[in-house]
């Protein structure tokens, strides 16, 4: 009987602590502080090569990552934390020439310029360029894998941006 009482009290204490501790911690290990909301402007594509879907795909991936990894709520504008910027590079670079001078690999690089505004703590504001790339076999049909490559890079970019904004990494 004493064990059941001890177990019950322990469980109630854990539940109480979990429901009453209201920290602004995220799944990234960062602290969102007092922020409750975030907003993301559409990132226009100013790269020399224009992929017509990239702007929307990147913007939505950034929103999704923030929603998945933080307790923040999305607002259309004027969030406590605000992300804006532009896509400044979308390029393909041949790598690793073979004996016949044909490239064995191609690198897709995407770079975004981000302006982050923390409306609650201006010391955390930043403007920075983020770049990620992925290499793929040069003989692969690009149309067959381009969306997959973009999704991979967009995820990495969004996670890097979130880490910089929340974890200050």
Q: What is the pLDDT of residues 116-145, one digit of tens each?
A: 999 999 999 999 999 999 999 999 999 999
- For 14-70, write each residue's pLDDT tens digit: 544 443 344 444 444 567 889 999 999 999 999 999 999 999 999 999 999 999 999
Q: Tell whether the torsion through CA atoms of 11, 16, 19 and 22 is positive or negative.
A: negative
- Is the pTM above the cut of 0.85? no
According to the CATH classification, is domain 2-167 in 3.30.160.150?
yes
Asked if 24 and 33 touch (Cβ cutoff 8 Å), the reply is yes
């Amino acid at each position: 009987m004493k064990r059941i009482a001890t177990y019950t009290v322990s469980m109630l204490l854990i539940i109480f602590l979990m429901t009453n501790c209201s920290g602004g911690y995220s799944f990234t290990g960062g602290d969102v502080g007092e922020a409750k909301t975030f907003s993301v402007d559409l990132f226009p594509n100013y790269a020399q090569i224009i992929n017509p879907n990239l702007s929307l795909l990147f913007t939505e991936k950034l929103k999704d990552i923030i929603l998945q990894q933080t307790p923040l709520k999305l607002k259309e504008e004027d969030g406590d934390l605000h992300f804006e910027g532009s896509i400044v590079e979308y390029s393909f670079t041949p790598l690793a020439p073979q004996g016949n001078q044909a490239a064995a690999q191609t690198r897709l690089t995407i770079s975004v310029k981000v302006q982050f505004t923390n409306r609650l703590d201006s010391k955390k504001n930043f403007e920075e360029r983020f770049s990620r790339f992925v290499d793929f076999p040069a003989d692969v049909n690009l149309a067959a894998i381009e969306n997959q490559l973009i999704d991979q890079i967009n995820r990495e970019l969004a996670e890097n941006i979130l880490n910089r904004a929340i974890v200050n990494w």
